[in-house]
Structure 1
Amino acid sequence: MWLRNTRARSLAYPILLALAAIDSAGYSVIAPTLPTLAERHDAGPALIGALASTFPLAMMAGFAAAGRLVRAGRTRATLLAAVTVAAVGAVLFATASGLPLLFAARALMGLGSGGLWIGVTFATLAYWPGQEYLCMSRIYAAYSAGALLGPLLGALGGTTAPFLTYALLLALIAPAAAALPSPAADQFRSDRSALRTRGFWIAAVGIMLAILATGALDGVLPLHFAGRLSQAGIGLAYLAVGALIAIGSAAAGHQAPARMLVTGAVAITVGLTLAGATNAYLPWAAALLLIGLGIGAAQTGATGLLLNAVPTTRIVTAMIVWSQLGIFGYLAGPALGGLLAQHLGFAALGLLPTATLALLAVVNKRRRDTPPR
């Protein structure tokens, strides 16, 4: 009954947008602090990249756990548990004195973030049937707004203030999350056959490419930018990138998904290569412009392709696997990007989206050439 109430749904939308924005801030709050952490612990790009990749690795487990709760009709419980786990991780990160605790704290934050993504996504799909693509493009815009908030928190300096402030934001949004009702237990079903469709795999590789760029941006490029920018300067630059991602995400919601995925992929590849190959402010600005708009367009386009390929009523398994593959990109971005930067230089970051584009072409061709059963 609640879902048929237009006024109630309109009240839920700001809560979901706020949850999305705060969740996203947890991704990017670490970016401006990475040079400080590297200096404090005498760590190189590979080790710092591994620390950054702990977050997306734990997110994959969070997706699976949250998916089981959603199937049982416990979306609200999913959101509350995710907020709590992420807040505990943020407090631990703020107070940790050594790298082992930092890794554990970042893993807790990732586990909570995985639950938040699944909870927010399925609540959106449930509340606005028939408008999934448009509403999800706005959720992505909210995630992009959170990408503005994270660097602002990181610009506070050190590691204590940014992460304690983030934990406070999670505590403030928890009562609003508790006010959201859970969709009916039978509203979403699992269907593994969706994983065998060509459309699903194109959408999966597409989201992996978009989130890979975010991982390289958050987990590796700050070390390159630190040569000329302070921690506050990196935070402000990433604030601008977050605004560009929001613009790209919202604009892509009114365009054909496939076109947006291709356009975003090209922009990401050029932008990452340019950002790593130069040390001047103007080329950096152009590179960040391409990366921001490209990420926004690609992630929204990939979402549209998924929604076109799999009916919403049986999307649970497809959404979880699709999300895990996307976050694998966020894992590969800092992990592989750190190794590339350390051994080949930061300009080699452009190899990451290039390899993903090649994989996308292979998947597209192989699925197209496979005869129907």
Structure 2
Amino acid sequence: MVGKYDIRVYNNRVSYHFVIKRNITIIQGDSGTGKTSLFNLISDYNQSGISSGVTVSCDRKCVTLRLNDELQTELLKAMHGYIVFLDENSSFVKTHEFAKIANYSDNYFVIICRDSLPQLSYSVEEIYGIRVDRDSQKYRDPHRVYNEMYKLYNFEGTRLKPEVVITEDSNSGHDCFTMIFPKDCRSAGGRSNVVNAISSLKSEHKDVLAIVDGAAFGSEVEFFMRKAENYGAKCVLYAPESFEYILLKSGILGDRVDSDKLAKTYDYADSCQYVSWEQFYEAYLTDLSQGTEYRYSKKKLGLPYMTEGNMKKIRNQIPEQIEVEDAICNIRRT
């Protein structure tokens, strides 16, 4: 399933409006913010149609499932091309069995859940809270909790000159950022290790920048924010879609890159093929660079990417608030 979908759900008392464009969307929030009301409105519409007094407007059919019994789980497996809303009271959503169904599914999922779901790969951009219009108590507008890609999270507006850089990636991305931040660039060895890597720095009291693949870091971002708040020095998260996305955006591959695939990835990253947009960008870059000097390998960054000119193009993708070295470190040709 691909596409970007505008969803409106309303009756004569309350209205919701939001847009989804990836296979996994998370709606968080405390009790009383309207999460359960949203689920119940769609459920009522599924059962009774317009006689329920509810209107659900979307180009795809929106359905609710509670997944509390085997019958509904089997029903989910048989669905294709739906937007499926799942309630936080379903413990099945938190299982690896559900992740196996959701991964490469021909459906989009909107999961109403207060807890992080580490078994799923979802974007920091697709975590929403529900903002209520306090004047009318009527209109409810889901808004991004962690803002948009290429923003610096928990950043207070001053410049950051990181003393330590932690990369989620231990392969090609780490190779690249070691050249851009040569003084102290460390690999966390995976997204689930980023917070632990920051914990190990606490006694050093150094300003730290963590670089992660935002397209799949959603389950970890809340833990990061909590850790950053109590870190004791500046601790900033930089979450571009992925390292491959940076390379595609950098201009290194010139007009071979289809800019539409970067600007409107939702029309190309089929959920049947890609668990997250991170996988889409990796596959696109790998295919695009095949047979050229820029042949891409996730395990190790090729030397053509590591020339001074190309490293400057990559460095130019980093937000200007982050201070980087004026000179790129020497290329190691081993």
- Normalising by the residue count of structure 2, what TM-score does the alignment of the two structures yield? 0.28
Higher share of residues assigned helix: 1
Q: Higher RCO, 1 or 2 (CA under 8 Å, sep at least 6)?
A: 1
Greater gyration radius: 2
